[in-house]
Amino acid sequence: MILFENVSKTYPGSHEALSNVSFHLHRGDMAFLTGHSGAGKSTLLKLIALIERTTRGQILIGGQNLAGVTKRKIPYFRRNIGIIFQDHRLLLDRTVFDNVALPLIIAGLDYREITRKVRAALDKVNLLNKEKQLPATLSTGEQQRVGIARAVVNKPPVLLADEPTGNLDPELSEEIMKMFEQFNQVGVTVLIASHDLELIKRMQHRTLVLGKGKLIAQFPEEDS
Amino acid sequence: MRRGRTKKPEHASRKMQNTSSRRPGLIALIKNYFLRHMQVMFYSIGQLSRTPFSSLMTSAVIGIALALPSAFFTLLDNVQTLSLGWDGNAQISLFMKYNVSNSDAQKLATKLRMRQEVKLTRFISREQALEEFRTHSGFGDVLDVLEKNPLPAVIVVVPATTLDTPDQIETLLTSLKNIPEVDLAQLDLEWVKRLHALLETAQRGITILAVLLGLSVLLVVGNTIRLGIENRRDEIVITKLIGATNRFIRRPFLYTGIWYGLIGGLLAWSAVFTTMMLLKAPVNRLADLYYSQFTLSLPGLENALLLVFSGALLGLAGSWIAVGRHLQDIEPT
């Protein structure tokens, strides 16, 4: 589902943020991406979401080569990827419901279907009773869950999360991770960037370790 | 076009989509499209009403910029209807040569009346002219001293109402001048010509003013929308990250521009209307003093529609320029 082949990324006038990274996540895999800050975790996720372009090598998502996705097609490509941010990035002047509905509105669904899907997504993150509230009235954990609901409401085949538990205490982190596992169980390919090694160890999923832009270790070893 | 563009990526993505949603029909798509536009329309007016004061300020600037040329044009229109009244009074006096007899002159008068560009003619014989002069001029006694009647016969020609420009009257005048019996053809057309020239200058000036103020409306809307885009930078980045097209992001800004212009147009119209209402009474009094039937005509419905429409159009154009320039720069990093 996510295939990296000798991918390198050099920012203009800077060092190599990623160098010669290759790995393959199959459909329905769940994996962690870890490493020190500055190791290239964010860059790797940005390449998948087409926020940045590779300098060398190629990335295939669901069999589609990202080099072939023109600027005009990027929005449509991104609709197949749910992204969760550390700072949740909600629209603060809109209700929880409207925030979660946004991807569906963008996709042009009709109102009834939007209502149904938003409720379903909010139900999965246990926030159904808060749909009319503004994000600012929610706790950090709840805000993050709204972000997750928004990322999954469109049922994207790929879910990316950048430090989703960075601002949360261990208990809440565990809860969030359990949610990711649930999505993974229904076939979503999940890639989570995190430096919370304790948590990663407990979760026992595949782990990619980045160091200074290089893929320095994988647990368990890739069998293909 | 629109569908074609969106179709391709959908196909490409179908491979990776494990849940295929029901494909809506064409009618449903069109319905959805309009529904979405309606939503954005109301959403954008909702946004404006959240900051009523600053929205109204922007609209008021637009309103004043549109009201100025519009008020001038309305006044100009009024002056033009005033100058149209001249043709009833215009008349050309043909002074016959001294040796032309009364009967010859009378025949000429009858002949002239047949011409298309002549409405009617009036013949004044030499005797009548003398009589008129005697009663009106107050020089009656002086005339008695003269042995012979010094006055020529006169034919007064009233041009047809179809001749409504000074040029056409001028042409008639020269053709009359060339008649052999005519000694002198006189028409006091200078004031009409001057008025027309003045009106033309005013019209040109106001047109230039209108264009300049129209440009300023573009700039005002453009700048306001640019600020709006800056204020919503984060929101734009987020929506781009979850797959919004530029078109989707652009839409509310364009509607906002239209609303600014539309409300500005309405304000402009009410300003012009109020101005004319305030001017009506004094102008009528002035006209009365000149024994004129002239009354100030108020701007009509088509004027209102034109103002609102051009306001909306300028608003749309202004926001389009701003959006085109600034939306491209905002990309997630």
In this structure, are strands A56-61 and A64-65 parallel, antiparallel, or unpaired?
A: antiparallel
The structural domain count of chain B equals 2
Q: In this structure, what CATH number is given to the domain that contains residue B111?
A: 3.30.70.3040
The Cα B93–Cα B161 span in angstroms is: 17
Q: In this structure, what CATH number is given to the domain that contains residue A221?
A: 3.40.50.300
- Of the candidates B192, B139, B140, the one whose C-alpha atom is nearest the C-alpha of residue B164 is B192
Chains A, B: CB contacts under 8 A, how many?
A: 87
Q: What percent of chain A lies above the pLDDT cut of 90?
A: 63
* A135 and A188, same domain (yes or no): no
- Of the candidates A167, A205, A198, A207, the one whose C-alpha atom is nearest the C-alpha of residue A183 is A205
Its sign, for the CA torsion B233, B239, B242, B243, is negative
What pLDDT does B83 receive?
A: 64
Tell me if B243 sits within 8 A of A107, measured CB to CB. Answer: yes
* B246 and B322, same domain (yes or no): yes
**Last residue within a domain, chosen from A153, A174, A199:** A153
**Residue B3 forms part of a structural domain:** no
What pLDDT does B1 receive?
A: 40
Q: What is the residue-level pLDDT of chain B in tens, covering all 333 positions?
A: 444 444 444 444 444 444 444 566 788 778 878 888 888 888 888 888 888 998 999 999 999 999 999 988 888 888 877 766 554 566 788 888 888 888 888 888 888 888 887 888 888 888 888 887 777 777 767 777 777 787 888 888 887 777 667 677 778 888 888 888 888 888 766 666 777 788 889 889 999 999 999 999 999 999 999 999 998 898 999 999 999 999 899 999 999 999 999 999 999 999 999 998 898 888 888 888 877 777 787 777 888 899 999 999 999 999 999 998 888 888 887
**Last residue within a domain, chosen from B164, B188, B212:** B188
* A160 and A74, same domain (yes or no): yes
What pLDDT does B287 receive?
A: 81
* A70 and A167, same domain (yes or no): yes
What pLDDT does B283 receive?
A: 87
For residue B314, the enclosing domain spans: 30-84+194-326
* A135 and A189, same domain (yes or no): no
* A142 and A58, same domain (yes or no): no
Tell me if B332 sits within 8 A of B241, measured CB to CB. Answer: yes
* B180 and B37, same domain (yes or no): no
Of A51, A103, A111, the CB nearest to B243: A103
**Last residue within a domain, chosen from A113, A134, A153:** A153
* B143 and B46, same domain (yes or no): no
The Cα B273–Cα B296 span in angstroms is: 12
What pLDDT does B4 receive?
A: 42
ipTM score: 0.90
pLDDT tens digit sequence for A33-51: 998 888 889 899 999 999 9
* A121 and A25, same domain (yes or no): no
Beta bridge partners of B123: B155
* A139 and A111, same domain (yes or no): yes
Of A51, A63, A102, the CB nearest to B242: A102
What pLDDT does B218 receive?
A: 92
What are the Cα distances from residue B30, in Å, to B27, B33, B254? 5, 5, 20
The Cα B168–Cα B129 span in angstroms is: 29
Query: Which segments of chain A does DSSP mark as H helices, in order?
Result: 41-48, 74-78, 96-107, 111-124, 140-152, 170-185, 197-203
Helix axes B26-50, B52-84, angle to 10 degrees: 100
What pLDDT does B12 receive?
A: 41
* A162 and A224, same domain (yes or no): yes
Using a CB-CB cut-off of 8 Å, the residues of chain A touching B247 are none
- For range A164-174, the mean pLDDT: 85
pLDDT of A80 above 90: yes
Using a CB-CB cut-off of 8 Å, the residues of chain B touching A64 are 12-13, 15-16
Top-confidence residue, A21 or B16: A21
What pLDDT does B86 receive?
A: 55
* A131 and A69, same domain (yes or no): no
Instruction: Decide if B28 and A110 are in contact by the 8 Å CB cutoff.
Output: yes
CA-based max dimension of chain A: 50
What pLDDT does A198 receive?
A: 85
- For range A201-209, the mean pLDDT: 89
Using a CB-CB cut-off of 8 Å, the residues of chain B touching A51 are 241, 331-333
The structural domain count of chain A equals 2
Query: Which residue reads 């100009």 in tokens?
Result: B76
The Cα B225–Cα A220 span in angstroms is: 53
Beta bridge partners of A16: A10
What pLDDT does B114 receive?
A: 85
pLDDT of A109 above 90: no
What pLDDT does A193 receive?
A: 93
Instruction: Decide if A89 and B5 are in contact by the 8 Å CB cutoff.
Output: no
Ramachandran sector of residue B63 (left: φ over 0; alpha: ψ -120 to 50; beta: rest): alpha
For residue A119, the enclosing domain spans: 83-153
Tokens of A168: 């949360």
* A119 and A207, same domain (yes or no): no
What pLDDT does B26 receive?
A: 82
The Cα A91–Cα B39 span in angstroms is: 18
* B201 and B178, same domain (yes or no): no
